[in-house]
A and B are shown apart, each in its own frame.
Chain A
Amino acid sequence: MSANPKPLAAYDVERIHRDFPILAREVHGKPLVFLDSAASAQRPNAVIEVVDAYERLHHANVHRGVHQLSQEATAMFEQARERVRRFVNAASTREVIFTRGTTESINLVAQSYARPRLQPGDEILLTALEHHANIVPWQLVAEQTGAQVRAVPMDRRGVVALDDIAANLTERTRIVACAHVSNALGTVLPVREITRLAHARGAVVLVDGAQAVPHQAVDLAQLGCDFYAFSGHKMYGPTGIGVLVGREALLEAMPPWQGGGDMILTVSFEKTTYNELPYKFEAGTPNISGAIGLGAAIDYIDSLGIDNIHAHEQRLLRVATERLQRVPGLNIVGTAPDKAAVISFTLEGIHPHDLGTILDSEGVAVRTGHHCAMPVMEFFGVAATARASFACYSRESDIDALVRALGKAREVFV
């Protein structure tokens, strides 16, 4: 959370756009219009430079050497952890575990928290709009334990109703795992209320925050969930770094997930004692530059103000929704009232894959496909959609370019 958000009037999107060097390039002879930030956002100079300086000047292994470089690397790595803690308002850095990304964070919880506890007949409750990364780890642990995976349905807008959550919570529900924001539909889930309902039934809650953290203020003390997972590369940081925040008491009670260096205190062939939190869950040399880059990305977000980014993206969402609805034959998939700046759509008579190719030839990058959410596609009766997603650097002129390129697609096909 940004302590001193700047007023929105100061939100100079052209300047912000220039902070991202890749956005200045051309694709197929056209200026790049990058509308695929929900898959992976671009990096600002601020992140690239911090990572570069680390690689050039400070790199050594962390938590090991007494030499100067190792101390510098360790300090930078741990400062990044503190930045993450502050950004999502976690109680302590002991609760902030660096992982490879959201997917690994969820697998960690499934294997280390859920697997030793689940009994045959226990239930894991998901929602119908989950990303595969928040489905498959639970299916794996269900297979291993005899537990059942259930999904709370959504309506035609892509909304999961709290009543339906409540109705699907049973005395056998041990875990509720849901997205904070749907990557395919943009739906924002009321995770605070979901957490209350789940806790009232004694279930533990994991929230997949990959699509939320870059776009809205996330205050874990307020949300109250037990586990929260997100990725660096969706929030202007590097790939291969992510975070699991977990309640300390739960993490303490969980066995390590992977074994190796950094997660142990002492090793003998008779007995190994595990390191304290968070290191117990960070086996092996971590992604040091990734964590430092993530810290720099958070600094960058803070410099803009997450609330300002949110307001900017919400305005783009409104403009883009209006403009796209006027494109003949265009159908927006996912129309929840509370939505992040993600627009999935289909265009009558043009397969999303063809659309993706035509938009690309115009320099416009959108995601096409099932967005790793096949159950969502099946629910809406489509094999795939095109998806435009917005970020802090997206401009209204990007929407113009998208609409123009859609016109071109219609010229080719209709």
Chain B
Amino acid sequence: MDLKDLYRDVILDHNRSPRLFGRLEPADSAADGHNPLCGDRLHVTVRVEGDRVSDLRFEGKGCAISVASASLMCEAVKGRSRADIAHLFDEIHTVLTQHDAPVPEDLGKLAALTGVREFPVRVKCASLCWHTLNAALDRSASTVKTE
């Protein structure tokens, strides 16, 4: 168990200066994420153009892992298609939860989060933002469907 593997420089940097922090107004969709165990709260707002997340922001309070993960996620998914995002989500979920899973090259900076898997109780911190984003995207999808 090496702390440096969990708190890598990229993570500490994104915790100190989170990217795409704030709230889009107006937004096409939004969702709240809450981890009652540690009190982490996130609010994610997204703008969707066609099949793409053209822009997004997050705000909230949480531990370094949850804030850095949300910041890295926002950077990674901005401008990407739903299919790309779903693919990234699968990849990040796999590397967070499977001890020996290889780290895919296309994870980019998100690979900094792989140290979290050595700390099972912290995996939820890293995945909260992804579940929140999914909720926001599901909501926008259903909105699109009903229109």
CB of B75 closer than 8 Å to a CB of A: no
Q: How far is the CA of A368 from the CA of B125 in the complex (A)?
A: 14
Residues of B within 8 A of A (CB-CB), count: 20
- Contact at A413–B39, with CB atoms within 8 Å? no
Q: Is the CB of B3 within 8 A of A370?
A: no
Picked from B7, B12, B38, B122, the residue with its CB within 8 Å of the CB of A369 is B38
Contacts of B65 in A (CB 8 A): 353-354
With A351-B62, A354-B63 as known contacts, state yes or no: A370 contacts B39, CB within 8 Å.
yes
Bound-state CA distance A361–B2 (Å) is: 8
Interface centre among B41, B61, B64, B121 (most CB of A within 10 A): B64
For window 69-115 of chain B, which residues contact chain A by CB distance below 8 Å? Answer: none
Task: Report chain B residues within 8 Å CB of A354.
Answer: 7, 63-65
Q: How large is the interface on A (under 10, 10 to 19, 20 to 34, 35 or more residues)?
A: 10 to 19
Interface residue SS majority, chain B: mixed
Q: Which residues of B contact A321 (CB under 8 A)?
A: none
Asked if B1 is an interface residue, CB under 8 A from chain A, the answer is: yes
A28 CB-CB contact with B under 8 Å: yes
Structural contact, B125 and A412, CB atoms closer than 8 A: no
Given A368-B38, A369-B38, A377-B39, are A353 and B63 also a contact pair (CB < 8 Å)? yes
In the complex, are the beta carbons of A383 and B38 less than 8 A apart?
A: yes
A357 interface hit (Cβ, 8 Å): yes
A358 to B12, CA, bound (A): 14
Chain B residues whose CB sits within 8 angstroms of the CB of A377 once the complex forms: 39
Q: Are A357 and B61 in contact (CB under 8 A)?
A: no
CB distance from A411 to the nearest CB of B (A): 10
User: Chain A's nearest CB lies how many Å from the CB of B15?
Assistant: 8
Flag whether B37 is at the interface (Cβ < 8 A): yes
Q: List 21 A-B contacts (CB under 8 A).
A: A352-B38, A352-B63, A353-B63, A353-B65, A354-B7, A354-B63, A354-B65, A357-B6, A357-B122, A361-B1, A361-B3, A369-B37, A370-B36, A370-B39, A377-B39, A383-B39, A383-B41, A383-B61, A383-B62, A412-B12, A413-B64
Residues of chain A touching chain B, judged by Cβ–Cβ distance below 8 Å, are: 28, 350-354, 357-358, 361, 368-370, 377, 383-384, 412-413
